Structure 1
């Protein structure tokens, strides 16, 4: 387990370590409760905190070097995210992975991700196009020896670049909520997935479609991508 220190930037913001579930460069937050939230969120998504495990608030206070209030505020937000659940008079626990919900999550994601691809191709700005060009360069630089952590971070970055290009804050927030739960299932079977690199490479066509304003192609690629994700998960369970 990495040691957590509370390092502040000159702006007074709190520094975060490199986390799998945060994009590169997103490494500081405004409050201690936000810091605790992102640290815990990362561990819950990557299953460093196992489903069903008890959340030890006192131990987290000591490790994160924060008081009780930031931890409790973080846990309340994580409960809203359905990543933890609170049992009165018993404590707080990491939410179980409900594989029965995989189909329901995929049903929602297929429609939302496809619509995001459609909108992104229509609405992407010059800045969005420049960011997409940077991500395409990252894809070109990816090698066959790239680790699973790097591949997952790249997949997350690609999805969020497309999401942001929709310029619809409500859609972006909803997409992130469902993506997080899909990512948690991904980590459950990560060591048994053999086509992770191929799935990332398929995003090259997606980013190209968005950059070229090809809404129909971007929409279909994302629809297929989410459907294939569910099939991959079910195939190894």
Structure 2
């Protein structure tokens, strides 16, 4: 039973990180049990675990929902994420190999393609892949673990600014500047560009959160 619950936890956590489940979405036990072909017992266990980790919350008469963070919580998280992502850029610039450089350029290409097509869903995936390419190039497993832990909380919100007019193109320009700094092995500049990139995104989120209607 525990193994089934662990699998559910990992799947639901990935759904939240990737944006398949969005802040405020309700998780119904019966629907989850049917989706995964299991009884409600491991579903309840998985939900309790995700509530304890802060990814879900429970409300009277609504059950479990993907937790909607406050503006203050989001800014706090993005401040920490900006520092960690900046550090990843600095390390990536110092440790860049030919294959990691190629992976970074490929990820940037996917961002450009999605932005040109104004494909918000495609850009959200390309955006995460771009950041992941930097994390891989940094070559620090402990750092990656910390970033992934934060990602579970902030990733559901990262795509929200992409709805703003011109944001896909602006984000791609910021990515291009970051990638250029890394490829030129200028780690300090890459660090600063990434921190600015992350915090500009974080500062837009409170406005977007205000537009989320109570569910």
With the shorter chain as reference, the TM-score category is 0.7 to 0.9
The count of aligned residue pairs is 205
Alignment partner of 2:188: what SS?
Answer: helix
Equivalent in the alignment of 2:94: 122
Q: Supply the distance in 2 between the matched residues of 1:136 and 1:103 (Cα, whole angstroms).
A: 26
Q: Supply the distance in 1 between the matched residues of 2:162 and 2:105 (Cα, whole angstroms).
A: 28
Equivalent residues of 2:57, 2:65 under 8 A apart: yes
- RMSD (Å) for aligned C-alpha atoms: 3.1
Pick closer, same or farther for the CA change 1:181–1:198 going to 2, 3 Å. same
Q: Supply the distance in 2 between the matched residues of 1:186 and 1:137 (Cα, whole angstroms).
A: 19
Q: Supply the distance in 2 between the matched residues of 1:227 and 1:179 (Cα, whole angstroms).
A: 15
Q: Which runs of 5+ in 1 are unaligned?
A: 1-30
Task: Determine which structure has the larger helix proportion and give its number.
Answer: 2
Q: Pick from 38, 56, 62 the counterpart of residue 66 of structure 1.
A: 38
Equivalent in the alignment of 1:21: none
Q: Pick from 93, 106, 119 the counterpart of residue 134 of structure 1.
A: 106
Q: Supply the distance in 2 between the matched residues of 1:140 and 1:188 (Cα, whole angstroms).
A: 18
Whether 2:160 is the aligned partner of 1:195: answer no
> Which has the higher relative contact order, 1 or 2, with Cα contacts under 8 A spaced 6 or more apart?
2
Deviation by residue 1:185-228 (Cα, 9 ceiling, x = unmatched): 24556534541331123211212222222111211111110121
Deviation by residue 1:20-73 (Cα, 9 ceiling, x = unmatched): xxxxxxxxxxx86565345423544537455273x3223211122234565356
Q: Pick from 121, 144, 155 the counterpart of residue 183 of structure 1.
A: 155
> For 1:1-237, what aligned pairs fall within 5 Å after superposition?
36-45=8-17, 46=19, 48=21, 50-51=23-24, 53=26, 55-68=27-40, 71-72=43-44, 74-75=46-47, 78-79=50-51, 81-85=53-57, 92-142=64-114, 144-187=116-159, 190-192=162-164, 194-236=166-208, 237=210
Equivalent in the alignment of 1:15: none
Q: Supply the distance in 2 between the matched residues of 1:229 and 1:102 (Cα, whole angstroms).
A: 11
Deviation by residue 1:120-148 (Cα, 9 ceiling, x = unmatched): 11122333123123224334544522310
TM-score normalized with structure 2 length: 0.77
Q: Which runs of 5+ in 2 are unaligned?
A: 211-215
Pick closer, same or farther for the CA change 1:34–1:156 going to 2, 3 Å. farther
Shift of 1:180: 3.5
